Amino acid sequence: MTTKKTKAVCAPLIEAEHLRRALRERNLLRDDVEIAKEGTYICFPVKDASEDLCLYKVVTKSFKLKAAKPHCYKDRLKLPKKLMEELPTSYDVVGAIILIKLPKTLFHYRKEIGKALLETHKNIRTVCLIDPVSGELRTRNVAIIAGENQTLTTHTEYGLLFDVDVRTTYFSPRLTSERKRVADLVKPGETVVDMFAGVAPFSIMIARYAKPRIVYAIDKNKEAVILAQQNAKQNHVLETVEVIHADANDVEKVVPKKADRIIMNLPFSAYRFFSLALSIAAKTCIVHYYDILKEEDIDARIDALKKIAEEQYFNLKDISIRKIKSYAPREFYIGIDITATKHADVA
Ligand SMILES: C[S@@+](CC[C@H](N)C(=O)[O-])C[C@H]1O[C@@H](n2cnc3c(N)ncnc32)[C@H](O)[C@@H]1O
């Protein structure tokens, strides 16, 4: 362990926070070494033990050096000034893989950028240049620009482990809090249907953090289904999560029970499945519906869903809309919670 000898001001535990603030305000606190506990005292390494702090115990001792913070990857790059300004400030991290989008102007420098990202993130083993998700299975073109030739990784969220292949399956780390929010709404004994489950992050979060009777996790992508099954196993929810390799168009055939809750995370296309979703809905059913829409198109989409529901003898109420993340300028990834209730006079 590397240490550094320095002066320090020490206060009993109860006064430590007060002293820390005083030192911080006077810019006296050293930030290259760790604060240390000594018996019932906390010792703050200081640049200078100024006089008005002499009420406290002043000592000289060795402190553990702080681990050097990784620099921003941009600090490791030397590109023309205009291109430096175009470097992305955000990117996704899925397990040990960074997924980054680059403008065409930076394509020529992709390898240097990948190397800089790898050097500044100690837990990352691979950096991938990505295109937006596309096609029915919502997968993306992925080019490895640095690190290991590997697109399979294990992502951790809320203590759960999700195996994801970023090339062959969909996964977004930006939906973490949305998954937990939905799991927290699930009541004991519910039958849940995750119509477009992917590697099953919603299903598994629900199975682990709520007490559903069963969660049916459906997906059409064979690769996703294999990983979903693996994920259910490694998170010990095989008894609650039933992974089904099927087209959601066949949901009536593959789901044997009426659903109390349905998750429809298939932006751009979920509305085409809304009628089918209602065909497996219990008399009262909560639908978590996801879409990508411009602000001005949201009302029209809600009206369209209401019309579909009416044809299936359902009313939609308690509709709440949340913008989860931005997708493109003025376009949002939107989550809509809907309570669907069957008309009283229909069996
Ligand atoms: C946006 S991803 C969502 C995955 C998952 N719910 C999540 O949050 O990570 C949509 C998923 O729907 C699946 N999918 C697309 N069309 C489908 C269909 N007709 N039937 C079943 N699954 C489908 C895709 O394979 C993909 O895994």
Q: Give the mean pLDDT of the chain.
A: 94
pLDDT digits (tens, 9 = 90+) for 172-222: 999 999 999 999 999 999 999 999 999 999 999 999 999 999 999 999 999
Average pLDDT, integer, range 20-35: 85
CB 279 within 8 A of CB 252: yes
- Ligand 1: centre distance to CA 170 (Å): 7
CB distance 204 to ligand 1 below 6 Å: no
Q: Is the pLDDT of residue 131 over 90?
A: yes
Average pLDDT, integer, range 270-276: 97
CB distance 205 to ligand 1 below 6 Å: no
CB distance 247 to ligand 1 below 6 Å: yes
Residue nearest to atom 25 of ligand 1 (CA): 137
Pairing state between β 3-12 and 57-64: antiparallel
Atom of ligand 1 nearest to the CA of 269: 16
Q: Model-level pTM?
A: 0.81
The model's confidence at residue 54, banded by pLDDT at 50, 70 and 90, is: low
Atom of ligand 1 nearest to the CA of 197: 6
Please tell me the distance from the alpha carbon of residue 130 to that of residue 111, in angstroms, as a whole number: 13
Q: Using a CB cutoff of 8 Å and minimum separation of 24, what contacts does 37-42 make?
A: 38/10, 40/12, 40/13, 41/10, 41/11, 41/12, 41/13, 42/10, 42/11, 42/12, 42/13, 42/16
- Ligand 1: centre distance to CA 129 (Å): 22
The model's confidence at residue 250, banded by pLDDT at 50, 70 and 90, is: very high
CB distance 274 to ligand 1 below 6 Å: no
Atom of ligand 1 nearest to the CA of 175: 8
